[in-house]
Amino acid sequence: MSEPEPPASPVTNGSPAAEIGSLPLGSPIGIVEVAAASGFSPATVSRALRGLPGVSASTRVAVEKAAATLGYFPSPSASALITGRTNTFGIVAPWVSRWFFSAVIDGAQEVFGAAGYDLLLYPVATPSDPRGGYVINSRAIGKRVDGLLALNVPLMDSSLHSLQTLHIPVVTVGTAVQGLSGVLVDNEQVGRAATRHLLALGHRRIAFFGDDDGSHTDGFTVATDRARGFELEMRDAGLEPDPQLFQVSGFSIDGGEAALHRVFSQPGVAPPTAIFAVSDEVAMGAIYAARSRGLSVPGDLSIIGVDGHDLSYLFDLSTVAQPVKDQGRIAARLLLEQVTGPGPRPPSVVSVGTELIRRGTTGPLGVAR
């Protein structure tokens, strides 16, 4: 976008060379060829093509014309080698194929693409990794990208520090990391909002499906924050959450299914009348499992999720929606600012709002339909 884009180069091929412009597509075209064709020096060509000042208008036009004719495109490797900038951002994420992550990537790519940046995708180990954190090779990363977007990745201290020392800007999405810019939702408020909704419907026996086994004390606090909001809201209502109604589900559909079966199979434990699921995918699994047990949703059981998943309306799922694609856009802009801006700026944390969407999977207590 920001770079001059040569056309699909309708090079006069095959026929005898009329002039320098008719090089076959296969032959390498460097800045010296453009210089020769335009009659200027490589330095001037470089300046002209990058829109730098100190080039006369006529020269710029001539250079651009020559470059377009030859189908010239500067070598990213060469310019990265000398400028130290790669025009590429990296994005590290535990999954690409989960809705939340792909939606964030989508939003980020939109902004990066418009700014002329490429996007490099780095996989990282899943959070179920026993190490409980993520180590990235900062020197490797640093030489490939101008900045990094970390999606729900609780980078371990060492990775963080080395990244900072190398002056690679990092912006997080979904997790707050001390000293880094980030885009976040207030997950405690999310937990409170969902719980408040269920309480208002008359529910008292509410289960939490999430991932609060405490193994993620390193920064990946999404689930625990939501759980805390749940507990606080319950206590504010004068209720003490039943520990037996906390179920570890991870963030997956399978996890939601399994959790539901578990919570309805505890001998001597009264089942819940409502479930607050840590994500829409967990909620979907729970709905599926509930129906497979012959339970009516919301007649016998109300279920609410979190995310505003693209497909949530198909399940008529009540949810606390967050602007996921926007988070990608915002994070991308934060990263661009850090790279484009003059000096290193203090980390800024952007908190995005959420919205309770009341749909059909939550209903008043005791109103079997």
Partner DNA sequence: ATGAAAGCGCTAACAT
Partner DNA sequence: ATGTTAGCGCTTTCAT
Task: List residues near its own copies by CB under 8 A.
Answer: 5-6, 8-10, 24-26, 29, 71-73, 75-78, 80-81, 86, 88, 95-97, 99, 102-103, 105-106, 109-110, 113, 118-123, 135, 137-140, 143-144, 156, 158-159, 161-162, 165-167, 253, 284-285, 287-288, 310-311, 313-315, 325
Tell me: does residue 162 bind DNA (CB under 7 A): no
Is 49 or 184 the residue whose CB approaches DNA more closely? 49
Q: Of 287, 181, 278, whose CA–CA distance to 225 is shortest?
A: 278
Distance CA 41, CA 50 (A): 14
Distance CA 191, CA 306 (A): 9
Tell me: does residue 61 bind DNA (CB under 7 A): no
Tell me: does residue 367 bind DNA (CB under 7 A): no
Tell me: does residue 158 bind DNA (CB under 7 A): no
Q: Map residue 87 onto helix, strand or coil.
A: coil
Which does residue 159 bind out of its own copies, DNA, none, counting CB within 5 to 8 angstroms by kind? its own copies
Tell me: does residue 266 bind DNA (CB under 7 A): no
Distance CA 269, CA 181 (A): 44
* CB 86, CB 76: distance < 8 Å: yes
Tell me: does residue 56 bind DNA (CB under 7 A): yes
Distance CA 216, CA 86 (A): 33
Q: Are strands 355-357 and 318-321 parallel, antiparallel or unpaired?
A: antiparallel
Binding-site string for DNA from residue 309 to residue 338, where x marks contact by CB under 7 A and - marks none: ------------------------------
Q: Of 322, 312, 245, 236, whose CA–CA distance to 276 is shortest?
A: 245
Distance CA 63, CA 69 (A): 10
Tell me: does residue 41 bind DNA (CB under 7 A): yes
**Residues between 80 and 109 with contacts to DNA, criterion CB under 7 A:** 81-83
Token digits of residue 261: 């079966």
Is 191 or 285 the residue whose CB approaches its own copies more closely? 285
Candidate residues 23, 37, 40, 255; the one interacting with DNA per rule CB under 7 A: 40
DSSP assignment of 167-186: T--EEEESS--TTSEEEEE-
Tell me: does residue 31 bind DNA (CB under 7 A): yes
Q: Map residue 31 onto helix, strand or coil.
A: helix
- Where on the chain is the footprint of DNA (CB under 7 A)? 28, 30-32, 39-44, 46-47, 49-50, 53-56, 58-59, 72, 74-75, 78-79, 81-83
